[in-house]
Structure 1
Amino acid sequence: MKQSLLLCSFCLIAAATQAQDISQRTTVERTISAGQAVDVQAFEAISARNVVERSGTASYTAGKAITLTPGFEARAGSVFQATIANVTAPSSEVRPELLVSATPNPFQEQTVIEYTLPEASTVKHTLTDARGGIIRQNQSDGVQPAGKHRIGVEGTNLSTGIYLYQIQTGNQTKTIRLLKQ
Protein backbone atom coordinates (compact mmCIF):
# COMPACT_ATOMS: atom_id res chain seq x y z
CA MET A 1 0.00 0.00 0.00
CA LYS A 2 2.78 2.44 0.93
CA GLN A 3 4.61 1.67 -2.30
CA SER A 4 1.43 2.30 -4.31
CA LEU A 5 0.89 5.65 -2.60
CA LEU A 6 4.52 6.61 -3.13
CA LEU A 7 4.33 5.67 -6.81
CA CYS A 8 1.08 7.65 -7.21
CA SER A 9 2.71 10.66 -5.53
CA PHE A 10 5.64 10.56 -7.95
CA CYS A 11 3.24 10.27 -10.91
CA LEU A 12 1.22 13.27 -9.70
CA ILE A 13 4.37 15.35 -9.20
CA ALA A 14 5.62 14.43 -12.68
CA ALA A 15 2.25 15.24 -14.25
CA ALA A 16 2.07 18.57 -12.43
CA THR A 17 5.55 19.46 -13.65
CA GLN A 18 4.70 18.48 -17.23
CA ALA A 19 1.42 20.40 -17.28
CA GLN A 20 2.75 23.57 -15.69
CA ASP A 21 0.84 26.67 -16.73
CA ILE A 22 2.91 29.79 -17.16
CA SER A 23 1.37 32.87 -15.55
CA GLN A 24 2.30 36.55 -15.60
CA ARG A 25 3.41 36.51 -11.96
CA THR A 26 3.83 33.65 -9.52
CA THR A 27 4.87 33.11 -5.90
CA VAL A 28 6.80 30.00 -4.85
CA GLU A 29 6.14 28.89 -1.27
CA ARG A 30 6.47 25.09 -1.48
CA THR A 31 9.60 23.41 -0.07
CA ILE A 32 11.69 21.62 -2.68
CA SER A 33 12.75 18.35 -1.09
CA ALA A 34 15.88 16.25 -1.57
CA GLY A 35 15.90 14.58 -4.97
CA GLN A 36 13.17 16.84 -6.31
CA ALA A 37 13.71 19.06 -9.38
CA VAL A 38 11.41 22.02 -10.00
CA ASP A 39 11.33 24.41 -12.95
CA VAL A 40 9.21 27.54 -12.36
CA GLN A 41 8.54 30.05 -15.13
CA ALA A 42 6.61 33.32 -15.31
CA PHE A 43 6.19 35.81 -18.13
CA GLU A 44 6.95 38.76 -15.81
CA ALA A 45 7.97 37.99 -12.22
CA ILE A 46 8.59 35.30 -9.63
CA SER A 47 8.57 35.89 -5.88
CA ALA A 48 10.13 33.08 -3.84
CA ARG A 49 9.93 32.48 -0.09
CA ASN A 50 10.52 28.75 -0.10
CA VAL A 51 13.31 26.40 0.97
CA VAL A 52 15.41 24.35 -1.46
CA GLU A 53 16.66 21.45 0.65
CA ARG A 54 20.00 19.66 0.25
CA SER A 55 20.02 17.61 -3.01
CA GLY A 56 16.99 19.55 -4.28
CA THR A 57 17.13 21.45 -7.58
CA ALA A 58 15.23 24.65 -8.38
CA SER A 59 15.33 26.64 -11.60
CA TYR A 60 13.38 29.92 -11.79
CA THR A 61 13.01 31.85 -15.05
CA ALA A 62 11.09 35.11 -15.40
CA GLY A 63 10.89 37.84 -18.03
CA LYS A 64 11.53 40.83 -15.74
CA ALA A 65 12.23 40.01 -12.08
CA ILE A 66 12.91 37.25 -9.57
CA THR A 67 12.60 38.36 -5.95
CA LEU A 68 13.92 36.22 -3.09
CA THR A 69 11.90 37.34 -0.07
CA PRO A 70 12.44 36.61 3.65
CA GLY A 71 12.04 32.88 4.20
CA PHE A 72 13.82 31.89 0.99
CA GLU A 73 16.75 29.57 1.57
CA ALA A 74 18.88 27.46 -0.79
CA ARG A 75 20.58 25.08 1.61
CA ALA A 76 24.14 23.79 1.19
CA GLY A 77 24.18 20.95 -1.31
CA SER A 78 21.16 22.22 -3.25
CA VAL A 79 21.20 23.59 -6.79
CA PHE A 80 19.43 26.91 -7.34
CA GLN A 81 19.39 28.91 -10.56
CA ALA A 82 17.53 32.17 -11.24
CA THR A 83 17.45 33.51 -14.79
CA ILE A 84 15.95 36.65 -16.30
CA ALA A 85 15.02 35.77 -19.89
CA ASN A 86 12.08 35.93 -22.25
CA VAL A 87 9.57 33.25 -21.34
CA THR A 88 7.36 31.91 -24.10
CA ALA A 89 4.29 29.73 -23.92
CA PRO A 90 5.13 26.06 -24.34
CA SER A 91 4.49 24.71 -27.80
CA SER A 92 2.95 21.34 -28.45
CA GLU A 93 5.95 20.24 -30.49
CA VAL A 94 8.69 18.35 -28.68
CA ARG A 95 12.07 20.05 -28.94
CA PRO A 96 15.21 17.91 -28.68
CA GLU A 97 17.10 18.60 -25.48
CA LEU A 98 20.71 19.32 -24.67
CA LEU A 99 21.91 16.38 -22.54
CA VAL A 100 24.81 16.66 -20.08
CA SER A 101 26.43 14.13 -17.71
CA ALA A 102 29.72 13.67 -15.82
CA THR A 103 31.67 10.46 -15.22
CA PRO A 104 32.89 9.77 -12.60
CA ASN A 105 30.90 11.97 -10.27
CA PRO A 106 31.96 12.29 -7.45
CA PHE A 107 35.54 12.53 -8.72
CA GLN A 108 39.02 12.98 -7.28
CA GLU A 109 41.47 13.95 -10.02
CA GLN A 110 39.45 14.25 -13.23
CA THR A 111 35.92 13.89 -14.56
CA VAL A 112 34.70 13.75 -18.14
CA ILE A 113 31.74 15.88 -19.16
CA GLU A 114 29.75 14.27 -21.96
CA TYR A 115 27.15 16.38 -23.72
CA THR A 116 24.85 15.73 -26.64
CA LEU A 117 23.91 18.66 -28.86
CA PRO A 118 20.49 18.26 -30.51
CA GLU A 119 21.62 20.62 -33.28
CA ALA A 120 24.82 22.32 -34.45
CA SER A 121 25.67 25.23 -32.15
CA THR A 122 28.37 27.29 -30.50
CA VAL A 123 29.00 26.05 -26.96
CA LYS A 124 30.10 27.91 -23.82
CA HIS A 125 31.48 25.92 -20.86
CA THR A 126 31.52 27.40 -17.33
CA LEU A 127 32.77 25.82 -14.09
CA THR A 128 31.75 27.66 -10.92
CA ASP A 129 32.15 27.00 -7.23
CA ALA A 130 29.08 26.52 -5.02
CA ARG A 131 28.87 30.29 -4.41
CA GLY A 132 28.81 31.12 -8.12
CA GLY A 133 32.44 32.25 -8.46
CA ILE A 134 33.74 31.42 -11.93
CA ILE A 135 36.64 28.93 -11.83
CA ARG A 136 36.95 28.32 -15.59
CA GLN A 137 35.08 29.53 -18.63
CA ASN A 138 35.62 28.96 -22.33
CA GLN A 139 33.73 29.32 -25.59
CA SER A 140 34.14 26.81 -28.40
CA ASP A 141 35.78 28.01 -31.57
CA GLY A 142 33.07 28.03 -34.20
CA VAL A 143 30.04 25.79 -34.41
CA GLN A 144 30.10 22.25 -33.02
CA PRO A 145 28.08 19.64 -34.94
CA ALA A 146 25.02 17.92 -33.47
CA GLY A 147 25.83 14.74 -31.54
CA LYS A 148 27.96 13.57 -28.60
CA HIS A 149 30.98 15.53 -27.39
CA ARG A 150 33.37 15.10 -24.43
CA ILE A 151 35.55 17.45 -22.45
CA GLY A 152 37.76 16.65 -19.46
CA VAL A 153 37.71 18.66 -16.24
CA GLU A 154 41.00 18.50 -14.36
CA GLY A 155 40.37 18.57 -10.61
CA THR A 156 43.85 18.29 -9.10
CA ASN A 157 43.90 22.05 -8.35
CA LEU A 158 40.31 22.15 -7.05
CA SER A 159 39.45 22.03 -3.36
CA THR A 160 37.12 19.35 -2.07
CA GLY A 161 33.51 20.49 -2.47
CA ILE A 162 30.58 21.10 -4.78
CA TYR A 163 30.98 22.71 -8.20
CA LEU A 164 28.51 23.56 -10.94
CA TYR A 165 29.30 22.88 -14.60
CA GLN A 166 27.17 24.76 -17.11
CA ILE A 167 26.94 24.21 -20.85
CA GLN A 168 25.24 26.96 -22.82
CA THR A 169 24.30 26.68 -26.50
CA GLY A 170 22.51 29.17 -28.71
CA ASN A 171 19.10 28.38 -27.20
CA GLN A 172 19.58 25.98 -24.26
CA THR A 173 21.47 25.92 -20.98
CA LYS A 174 22.08 22.92 -18.72
CA THR A 175 23.82 22.90 -15.35
CA ILE A 176 25.01 19.80 -13.51
CA ARG A 177 26.46 19.45 -10.03
CA LEU A 178 29.96 18.00 -9.61
CA LEU A 179 31.32 16.70 -6.32
CA LYS A 180 35.12 16.90 -5.89
CA GLN A 181 36.38 14.52 -3.19
Structure 2
Amino acid sequence: MDHFHTKLGEQVNSFTKQAGEIDKWDRALIQQRDRALQLHDTTTRLQQGATAINTELELILQHQDEMHNALTVLEKKVENEARQFADRPSDRQQAYALVESLDKELSETKDLLSDTVDRLNKQRHTESAKDSEQAALAQMVSVLDVHLNAFLWLEQQSNQLEEALGQVDALATDQQALQRMRPFDDPMR
Protein backbone atom coordinates (compact mmCIF):
# COMPACT_ATOMS: atom_id res chain seq x y z
CA MET A 1 0.00 0.00 0.00
CA ASP A 2 2.92 2.28 0.64
CA HIS A 3 4.01 1.63 -2.84
CA PHE A 4 0.57 2.57 -4.14
CA HIS A 5 0.53 5.62 -1.93
CA THR A 6 4.00 6.69 -3.18
CA LYS A 7 3.01 6.23 -6.81
CA LEU A 8 -0.19 8.19 -6.24
CA GLY A 9 1.82 11.01 -4.63
CA GLU A 10 4.21 11.08 -7.58
CA GLN A 11 1.32 11.20 -10.03
CA VAL A 12 -0.35 13.99 -8.03
CA ASN A 13 2.91 15.97 -8.08
CA SER A 14 3.30 15.32 -11.81
CA PHE A 15 -0.31 16.34 -12.44
CA THR A 16 0.11 19.51 -10.36
CA LYS A 17 3.31 20.37 -12.25
CA GLN A 18 1.63 19.80 -15.62
CA ALA A 19 -1.44 21.78 -14.51
CA GLY A 20 0.86 24.69 -13.59
CA GLU A 21 2.50 24.60 -17.02
CA ILE A 22 -0.88 24.41 -18.74
CA ASP A 23 -2.04 27.36 -16.63
CA LYS A 24 1.05 29.37 -17.76
CA TRP A 25 0.34 28.49 -21.40
CA ASP A 26 -3.31 29.37 -20.96
CA ARG A 27 -2.39 32.78 -19.50
CA ALA A 28 0.11 33.38 -22.33
CA LEU A 29 -2.56 32.45 -24.89
CA ILE A 30 -5.05 34.84 -23.24
CA GLN A 31 -2.47 37.66 -23.29
CA GLN A 32 -1.64 36.97 -26.94
CA ARG A 33 -5.37 36.88 -27.77
CA ASP A 34 -5.86 40.26 -26.03
CA ARG A 35 -2.91 41.72 -27.95
CA ALA A 36 -4.28 40.34 -31.21
CA LEU A 37 -7.68 41.90 -30.46
CA GLN A 38 -6.06 45.25 -29.64
CA LEU A 39 -4.04 45.08 -32.87
CA HIS A 40 -7.21 44.25 -34.80
CA ASP A 41 -9.06 47.20 -33.23
CA THR A 42 -6.12 49.52 -33.92
CA THR A 43 -5.86 48.28 -37.50
CA THR A 44 -9.58 48.83 -38.01
CA ARG A 45 -9.36 52.40 -36.64
CA LEU A 46 -6.30 53.12 -38.80
CA GLN A 47 -8.07 51.80 -41.89
CA GLN A 48 -11.08 53.98 -41.14
CA GLY A 49 -8.77 56.97 -40.63
CA ALA A 50 -6.95 56.23 -43.88
CA THR A 51 -10.28 56.00 -45.71
CA ALA A 52 -11.37 59.34 -44.23
CA ILE A 53 -8.03 60.92 -45.19
CA ASN A 54 -8.32 59.57 -48.74
CA THR A 55 -11.83 61.00 -48.99
CA GLU A 56 -10.58 64.39 -47.78
CA LEU A 57 -7.63 64.26 -50.19
CA GLU A 58 -9.95 63.52 -53.10
CA LEU A 59 -12.11 66.47 -52.07
CA ILE A 60 -9.04 68.71 -51.82
CA LEU A 61 -7.84 67.57 -55.24
CA GLN A 62 -11.28 68.30 -56.69
CA HIS A 63 -11.21 71.80 -55.17
CA GLN A 64 -7.67 72.27 -56.44
CA ASP A 65 -8.76 71.35 -59.97
CA GLU A 66 -11.67 73.79 -59.75
CA MET A 67 -9.31 76.51 -58.47
CA HIS A 68 -6.86 75.78 -61.29
CA ASN A 69 -9.62 76.07 -63.88
CA ALA A 70 -10.83 79.36 -62.38
CA LEU A 71 -7.27 80.73 -62.29
CA THR A 72 -6.73 79.73 -65.91
CA VAL A 73 -9.85 81.66 -66.94
CA LEU A 74 -8.74 84.68 -64.89
CA GLU A 75 -5.22 84.57 -66.34
CA LYS A 76 -6.62 84.58 -69.86
CA LYS A 77 -8.89 87.49 -69.01
CA VAL A 78 -5.99 89.46 -67.50
CA GLU A 79 -3.83 88.72 -70.54
CA ASN A 80 -6.59 89.97 -72.85
CA GLU A 81 -7.02 93.15 -70.82
CA ALA A 82 -3.24 93.65 -70.66
CA ARG A 83 -3.04 93.43 -74.45
CA GLN A 84 -5.63 96.21 -74.72
CA PHE A 85 -3.47 98.55 -72.62
CA ALA A 86 -0.02 97.32 -73.65
CA ASP A 87 1.14 100.70 -75.02
CA ARG A 88 0.07 102.68 -71.92
CA PRO A 89 2.09 102.41 -68.70
CA SER A 90 0.03 101.32 -65.73
CA ASP A 91 -1.02 103.69 -62.99
CA ARG A 92 1.28 101.88 -60.62
CA GLN A 93 4.25 102.32 -62.96
CA GLN A 94 3.47 106.03 -63.27
CA ALA A 95 3.27 106.36 -59.49
CA TYR A 96 6.60 104.54 -59.10
CA ALA A 97 8.24 106.81 -61.68
CA LEU A 98 6.93 109.87 -59.82
CA VAL A 99 8.19 108.53 -56.50
CA GLU A 100 11.62 107.79 -57.99
CA SER A 101 11.76 111.33 -59.39
CA LEU A 102 10.83 112.79 -56.01
CA ASP A 103 13.41 110.61 -54.28
CA LYS A 104 16.11 111.82 -56.66
CA GLU A 105 15.15 115.46 -56.10
CA LEU A 106 15.11 114.96 -52.31
CA SER A 107 18.56 113.41 -52.51
CA GLU A 108 19.84 116.38 -54.51
CA THR A 109 18.30 118.78 -51.97
CA LYS A 110 19.96 116.87 -49.13
CA ASP A 111 23.31 117.14 -50.90
CA LEU A 112 22.75 120.86 -51.43
CA LEU A 113 21.92 121.35 -47.76
CA SER A 114 25.01 119.37 -46.72
CA ASP A 115 27.23 121.47 -48.99
CA THR A 116 25.72 124.69 -47.64
CA VAL A 117 26.24 123.62 -44.04
CA ASP A 118 29.83 122.60 -44.83
CA ARG A 119 30.52 125.99 -46.44
CA LEU A 120 28.99 127.79 -43.48
CA ASN A 121 31.10 125.76 -41.08
CA LYS A 122 34.25 126.60 -43.04
CA GLN A 123 33.36 130.29 -43.04
CA ARG A 124 32.80 130.21 -39.32
CA HIS A 125 36.26 128.80 -38.68
CA THR A 126 37.95 131.41 -40.88
CA GLU A 127 36.28 134.43 -39.33
CA SER A 128 38.04 136.53 -36.76
CA ALA A 129 37.01 136.47 -33.12
CA LYS A 130 35.53 139.98 -33.38
CA ASP A 131 33.12 139.08 -36.15
CA SER A 132 32.19 135.71 -34.69
CA GLU A 133 28.88 136.86 -33.17
CA GLN A 134 27.71 138.49 -36.39
CA ALA A 135 28.98 135.58 -38.44
CA ALA A 136 27.16 133.09 -36.22
CA LEU A 137 23.94 135.05 -36.60
CA ALA A 138 24.44 135.32 -40.35
CA GLN A 139 25.19 131.62 -40.51
CA MET A 140 22.05 130.76 -38.56
CA VAL A 141 19.98 133.00 -40.82
CA SER A 142 21.53 131.37 -43.87
CA VAL A 143 20.89 127.85 -42.57
CA LEU A 144 17.33 128.75 -41.63
CA ASP A 145 16.81 130.26 -45.07
CA VAL A 146 18.06 127.07 -46.72
CA HIS A 147 15.79 124.99 -44.48
CA LEU A 148 12.83 127.23 -45.28
CA ASN A 149 13.48 126.86 -48.99
CA ALA A 150 13.82 123.10 -48.60
CA PHE A 151 10.55 122.88 -46.66
CA LEU A 152 8.77 125.00 -49.27
CA TRP A 153 10.11 122.76 -52.01
CA LEU A 154 9.07 119.63 -50.06
CA GLU A 155 5.58 121.08 -49.59
CA GLN A 156 5.34 121.76 -53.31
CA GLN A 157 6.50 118.22 -54.15
CA SER A 158 4.10 116.78 -51.59
CA ASN A 159 1.22 118.70 -53.17
CA GLN A 160 2.22 117.40 -56.60
CA LEU A 161 2.39 113.87 -55.26
CA GLU A 162 -1.03 114.20 -53.61
CA GLU A 163 -2.44 115.51 -56.88
CA ALA A 164 -0.89 112.60 -58.81
CA LEU A 165 -2.21 110.06 -56.31
CA GLY A 166 -5.63 111.69 -56.53
CA GLN A 167 -5.51 111.25 -60.29
CA VAL A 168 -4.48 107.61 -59.86
CA ASP A 169 -7.37 107.07 -57.42
CA ALA A 170 -9.77 108.76 -59.83
CA LEU A 171 -8.55 106.55 -62.70
CA ALA A 172 -8.92 103.44 -60.54
CA THR A 173 -12.42 104.50 -59.48
CA ASP A 174 -13.38 105.20 -63.10
CA GLN A 175 -11.99 101.82 -64.14
CA GLN A 176 -13.96 100.06 -61.41
CA ALA A 177 -17.11 101.92 -62.38
CA LEU A 178 -16.62 100.86 -66.00
CA GLN A 179 -16.11 97.26 -64.91
CA ARG A 180 -19.34 97.35 -62.90
CA MET A 181 -21.27 98.87 -65.80
CA ARG A 182 -20.07 96.30 -68.32
CA PRO A 183 -21.80 92.93 -68.25
CA PHE A 184 -19.46 90.04 -67.62
CA ASP A 185 -17.45 89.46 -70.76
CA ASP A 186 -16.67 86.07 -72.13
CA PRO A 187 -13.24 85.33 -70.57
CA MET A 188 -12.02 83.72 -73.80
CA ARG A 189 -12.70 86.89 -75.80
| TM > 0.5 | no
Larger-Rg structure: 2
Q: Which protein is richer in helix relative to its size? A: 2
- The structure where strand makes up a greater share of residues is 1
Which structure is richer in relative contact order (CA contacts within 8 A, separation 6 or more)? Answer: 2
Q: TM-score, normalised by structure 1?
A: 0.19
